[in-house]
Amino acid sequence: MTQSVVVQVGQCGNQIGCRFWDLVLREHAAVNKKGIYDEALSSFFRNVDTRNGGDGADIHKGKIFSLKARALLIDMEEGVVNEILQGPLRDVFDSKQLITDVSGSGNNWAVGHKLYGYQYREHIVEKLRSTAEHCDCLQCFFVIHSMGGGTGSGLGTFVLNVLEDEFPEVYRFVTSVYPSGEDDVITSPYNSVLAMKELNEHADCVLPIENESLFSIVSKIHQMTNSGKLGSTVKQNSLLTSSAGSIKTEQEKPFDAMNNIVANLLLNLTSSARFEGSLNMDLNEISMNLVPFPRLHYLVSSLTPLYTLADVNVPSRRLDQMFSDAFSKDHQLIQADPKHSLYLACALLVRGNVQVSDLRRNIERLKPSLHFVSWNQEGWKTGLCSVPPVGHSHSLLALANNTCVKPTFTELKDRFMKLYKKKAHLHHYLHVDGMEQSCFSEAISSLSDLIEEYNQLDATKSAPRTYPSRLKIAM
C-alpha cells in the first residue's frame, strides 16, 4: 500500500485541510469497526504509541493507538492553525509538522514566495523529509492552497518548487482555489497569475476550483433541501456540507459548506488508494492517462450526485442519471461547460456497488455527445472502488482534461492586465528582495502561452470527426 502526504498552505488551504481530515476520519470509522490499524488507514495516517510520552514509536499493525495525519500545516498567520490545534482534531496533528508566523503575507505573492519562502526553506525541507521518512512507499504529495492571497499563492507555490527539488519522483497533485471576479483582495489577479507560472512548471496535476462554483453548488443543495425535493430526514453519518453530525460541535463557519465540497473531491480522488475495488485506479495513473502534454495538466472536476454532499436522507438517484450529471456544467467545480469544449481525456472514479458493465454502457451512451481530440477518441480512464461514501450507495467523481478551462484563464489574464497596464500596486511587490518587474512579464507570458495551447486544440474541434472503419465481414 502506498502513502500520501497532504501539505496545506495558508488560511484557505488549512481550512479545507481541516474539513478533509474530519471527513476522512469519519469515513474510516464507518468502515473500520474493529479499531484495527490497516493498510487503508496507513495511506494517510501513522499509528503512534504515545503511552510513554515523547515522540512515540510507529505501530504498523494491530490496534489503533494514536492516529497522526501525514500532513504539513503551513501558515504565516497563526489564527487558523491555532484554531485547529484547539479543536477536536488537535490530537491528529503532530506539533512538529507545523510552520507558522505571526505577521502574514499581506495578500502579496512576493512576500509569501520570495520573503517567507527563502526564510523558511530549511524548516520546510526538514519537516517534509521527516514526514516522508515515516512512509514505506510515498507516492504523492497533495498541496492545498488558494491563488488569490499571499501565503497560499506565494508560499504554496514555493513549497511546490521545494517538492520537485527534494522529491522529484513523487507525484505533485495541487488543489488550487481560484478567486472570483468580485474577490475582496484587489491584488488577487497579480497573485494568481504569478502563482500560475509556478503551477505550469512544477505541478503534475492541478485541480482548479472556483469559489463561484462552490457557492452555486451549496446554494443549489440548500434550495433543493428547503424545497423538500431531497426529503428532510437528517443522515447523521453522511458526508455533509454542513457540520451537523460531524466531529465538530462549534457553530458552522461561513465557508465550511464550500470547503466540504473540496474535501469530498479529495476524499473521492483518494478512495482507490485507500480501499479495495474491482478496478482500482492508482493516483499515478491519473497523471499518466489524463495529461498528454506537460503544461496541459489542469483537470476539471465534477461530483455527482450533489446530494451525496447533503445532510438529508434521500433515495439513490438512478445510476445513468448520475453519469449524465457528471458532464453537465451544473456539477463542475469551476464555471465551465465541458460538453461544448474539447476533451483531451477523461477519468471516471466510481464508488459503491457499480459494475464494469454499468461503466461501459454509460460511456457508450455519452460518447456521441462529447467532443474528444481526434488522436484520442478512446481517451477514457475508469476506476471502481467498492466502498461507497458514508451513508450512500454510490458516487462519481469525473476528472476531465478539457479546453473548457480556457475561459477561466482568459478572464484571469484580463483582470491582471487591467491593473498591470496602469502599474497599479506594483510597488508593493517590487520592494520585496528578489522581486523584479520581469517576474510579472514572465508570468503573464507563461499564462498567454498556456491559453494559446488551448486555442490551438480548440481550432481542431471544428474539423469533422472521423471514426475508424470497422472490420466488415462478408456474408
Indicate if the pLDDT at residue 245 is higher than 70.
no
* Among candidate residues 418, 438, 435, 416, the one with its CA nearest the CA of residue 427: 435
Inter-residue contact 338 to 345 (CB < 8 Å): no
Indicate if the pLDDT at residue 453 is higher than 80.
yes
Sorted by sequence, the CB contacts under 8 Å of residue 80 that are 6+ apart come out as 11, 14, 15, 18
* Among candidate residues 210, 329, 188, the one with its CA nearest the CA of residue 261: 210
Flag whether 92 is in a domain: yes
Indicate if the pLDDT at residue 23 is higher than 80.
yes
Q: What is the mean pLDDT of residues 417-427?
A: 96
Task: Locate 459 and state its grid cell.
Answer: 481550432
CATH number assigned to the domain comprising residue 259: 3.40.50.1440
Flag whether 232 is in a domain: no
Express each pLDDT in 117-176 by its tens digit. Answer: 999 999 999 999 999 999 999 999 999 999 999 999 999 999 999 999 999 999 999 999
Task: Locate 393 and state its grid cell.
Answer: 450507495
Express each pLDDT in 256-265 by its tens digit. Answer: 889 999 999 9
Do residues 447 and 346 both lie within one domain? no
Range of the domain at 39: 3-227+255-407
What local confidence, expressed as pLDDT, does residue 140 receive?
95
CA distance 91 to 68: 7
Do residues 150 and 207 both lie within one domain? yes
Indicate if the pLDDT at residue 181 is higher than 90.
no
Do residues 372 and 434 both lie within one domain? no
What local confidence, expressed as pLDDT, does residue 248 receive?
42
Q: What is the DSSP letter of 18?
A: H
What local confidence, expressed as pLDDT, does residue 319 receive?
86
Q: What is the mean pLDDT of residues 78-106?
A: 91
Do residues 104 and 193 both lie within one domain? yes
Domain boundary among 362, 385, 407: 407
Q: How many domains does the chain have?
A: 2
Q: Report percent pLDDT > 90 for the chain.
A: 65
Flag whether 87 is in a domain: yes
Cα–Cα distances (Å) from 185 to 47, 180, 192, 325, 425, in that order, read 41, 10, 11, 33, 12
Q: What is the mean pLDDT of residues 425-435?
A: 96
Task: Locate 333 and state its grid cell.
Answer: 467545480
What local confidence, expressed as pLDDT, does residue 464 receive?
54
Q: Report percent pLDDT > 70 for the chain.
A: 88
Do residues 220 and 293 both lie within one domain? yes
Indicate if the pLDDT at residue 255 is higher than 90.
no
Do residues 127 and 46 both lie within one domain? yes
Flag whether 471 is in a domain: no
CATH number assigned to the domain comprising residue 419: 1.10.287
Least confident of 23-32, 75-84, 236-245, 259-268: 236-245
Local confidence band at 246 (pLDDT 50, 70, 90 cut-offs): very low
Do residues 414 and 399 both lie within one domain? no
CA distance 47 to 57: 8
What local confidence, expressed as pLDDT, does residue 202 receive?
97
Flag whether 32 is in a domain: yes
pTM reported for the whole predicted model: 0.91
Express each pLDDT in 365-406 by its tens digit. Answer: 999 999 999 999 999 999 999 998 887 788 999 999 999 999
Local confidence band at 329 (pLDDT 50, 70, 90 cut-offs): confident
What local confidence, expressed as pLDDT, does residue 59 receive?
80
Flag whether 192 is in a domain: yes
Residue, of 428 and 391, whose pLDDT is higher? 428
Do residues 350 and 448 both lie within one domain? no
Flag whether 472 is in a domain: no
Express each pLDDT in 272-313 by its tens digit. Answer: 889 888 888 888 899 999 999 999 999 999 998 776 555 545
Indicate if the pLDDT at residue 234 is higher than 50.
no
Do residues 315 and 401 both lie within one domain? yes
Least confident of 208-212, 437-441, 462-466: 462-466
Indicate if the pLDDT at residue 115 is higher than 80.
yes
Do residues 398 and 433 both lie within one domain? no
Domain boundary among 345, 376, 407: 407
Domain boundary among 392, 407, 422: 407
Flag whether 265 is in a domain: yes
On average, the pLDDT of the chain sits at 87
Q: What is the mean pLDDT of residues 429-454?
A: 97
What local confidence, expressed as pLDDT, does residue 474 receive?
55
What is the 3-class SS of 38-61, one letter each residue? CHHHHCCEEEEECCCCCCCEECCC
CA R_g for the chain:
22
Do residues 57 and 201 both lie within one domain? yes
Do residues 446 and 324 both lie within one domain? no
Residue, of 390 and 227, whose pLDDT is higher? 390
Q: What is the mean pLDDT of residues 44-58?
A: 76
